[in-house]
């Protein structure tokens, strides 16, 4: 199977800490994969390397066979774990910005989702709650018809009802060719949509398997296995 993402001995060292330790990994195309691990395990570092926000210390990370560059950025839709939108623009201005820069942005889809979540596109981000901002960001990211979606803690700051809507949004906007990488520690919530999981701890891959494999071999849910593997 062709890989959406490949890592070869990927290492990232920060002063005084090895964030990722020689990772080898292949994420097949067309799957929803959970990147799961405790806080500080290297999830966000991995995702930043994937998006070219960091450069590897050694080894390489490939998206569709390419190192992170303009071409990969055209095809990767990334939701960071923080608010990355400025607060003075109105939502419709930000939609225009996404339209301007991303050829794969679907404006109609974005407005449709805004309407369903009851967000007025004329509102400025300044006036919104943290949860609403997160919803806006997720709408922007999922309105792209990208090949790879990378979502870093997409449901962390929203209430359980919206969480369900967001997960549905993610699934319904996910085409067969697209790959989804979701980083989270809310495993029980995302488990039902995952095809595969990657357990990461202290910069190393602990486990990489499909959800079916885990259920068959271990006879456990991913959540239960996670609790076992990362027991404190």
What's the half-sphere exposure (Cβ side, CA atoms, 13 Å) at 204? 2
Interaction of residue 82 with other proteins, rule CB under 8 A: yes
Please tell me what DSSP assigns to residue 54.
Answer: S
Whose CA is closest to 182, among 10, 32, 38?
A: 32
Q: Least distance (Å) from other proteins to the CB of residue 161?
A: 27
Dmax (CA) for the chain in angstroms is 52
Angle at 3 between CA 10 and CA 78, to 5 degrees: 70
Q: Least distance (Å) from other proteins to the CB of residue 223?
A: 29
Q: Of 9, 66, 67, 101, which lies in the binding site for other proteins, with binding defined by CB under 8 A? A: 101
The residue range among 35-43, 52-60, 189-197, 209-217 that interacts with other proteins, by the rule CB under 8 A, is 52-60
Q: Of 29, 74, 124, 215, which lies in the binding site for other proteins, with binding defined by CB under 8 A? A: 74
Whole-number Å distance between alpha carbons of 211 and 201: 18
Q: Of 39, 88, 118, 129, which lies in the binding site for other proteins, with binding defined by CB under 8 A? A: 88
Whole-number Å distance between alpha carbons of 153 and 43: 10
Q: Of 13, 18, 26, 85, which lies in the binding site for other proteins, with binding defined by CB under 8 A? A: 85
Interaction of residue 86 with other proteins, rule CB under 8 A: yes
Angle between helices 130-142 and 160-172 (to 10 degrees): 10
Interaction of residue 176 with other proteins, rule CB under 8 A: no
Which stretches of the chain bind other proteins, using CB under 8 A?
Answer: 14, 48, 51-55, 70-71, 73-74, 76, 78, 80, 82-86, 88, 97, 100-102
């Amino acid at each position: 199977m062709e890989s959406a993402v490949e890592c070869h001995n990927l290492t990232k060292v920060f002063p005084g800490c090895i964030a990722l330790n020689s990772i080898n990994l292949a994420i097949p195309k067309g799957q929803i994969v959970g990147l799961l691990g405790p806080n500080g395990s290297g999830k966000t570092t991995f995702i930043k390397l994937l998006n070219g926000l960091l450069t590897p210390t050694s080894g390489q990370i490939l998206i569709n066979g390419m190192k992170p560059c303009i071409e990969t950025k055209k095809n990767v839709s990334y939701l960071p774990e923080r608010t990355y939108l400025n607060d003075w623009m109105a939502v419709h201005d930000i939609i225009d910005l996404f339209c301007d820069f991303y050829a794969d942005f679907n404006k109609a889809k974005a407005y449709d989702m805004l309407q369903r979540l009851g967000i007025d596109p004329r509102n400025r981000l300044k006036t919104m709650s943290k949860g609403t901002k997160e919803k806006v960001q997720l709408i922007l990211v999922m309105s792209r018809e990208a090949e790879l979606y990378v979502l870093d803690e997409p449901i962390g700051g929203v209430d359980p009802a919206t969480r369900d809507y967001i997960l549905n949004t993610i699934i319904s906007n996910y085409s067969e060719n697209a790959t989804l990488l979701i980083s989270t520690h809310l495993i029980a919530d995302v488990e039902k949509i995952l095809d595969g999981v990657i357990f990461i701890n202290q910069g190393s891959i602990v486990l990489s398997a499909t959800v079916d494999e885990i259920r068959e071999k271990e006879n456990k849910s991913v959540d239960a296995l996670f609790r076992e593997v990362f027991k404190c």
